[in-house]
Amino acid sequence: MAAGAGAARGLFAVTVAYEDDVAAWALEQVALLRSGRWALPSLRGVLNDLELDEEIWADAVDIAGREAGLTDLPKTRLWSFEQVLADDYLPS
């Protein structure tokens, strides 16, 4: 990415689609983060929304099941967000 090329694009605009080129997309995200032109949203509200959590888990299990051909995945999340975010977290 040329110096200053992102300034005209706007604060959150991306020029490379993840689906088209994951490596180029990742490099662009890094450049935006390092330049301070990308603000990461807080996920605290999402982490505390039980209904959204259940919906996200169901979607993730559905996608993982289809992509990996698995049928016996847990219907509910086994670990809380607090457990997953803990420094000493290791799933069993």
Range of the domain at 21: 1-40
89 band by pLDDT with thresholds 50, 70 and 90: confident
48, 36: one domain: no
In a domain, 25, yes or no: yes
Q: Are residues 21 and 5 in the same domain?
A: yes
User: Is residue 32 located within the same domain as residue 14?
Assistant: yes
- Please give the pLDDT value at position 42: 62
Same domain, 5 and 20: yes
Q: Report the chain's terminal Cα–Cα distance, integer Å.
A: 42
Quick check: is 19 in a domain?
A: yes
Any domain includes 18: yes
36 and 48 both lie in a single domain: no
Q: What's the domain count of the chain?
A: 2
Using CA atoms, how far apart are residues 14 and 28, in angstroms rounded to an integer? 7
- Using an 8 Å Cβ cutoff, are 71 and 65 in contact? yes
User: In the chain, pLDDT over 70 holds for what percent of residues?
Assistant: 72
Question: Among the residues of 9-85, which ranges form H helices?
Answer: 22-35, 44-47, 50-68, 81-85
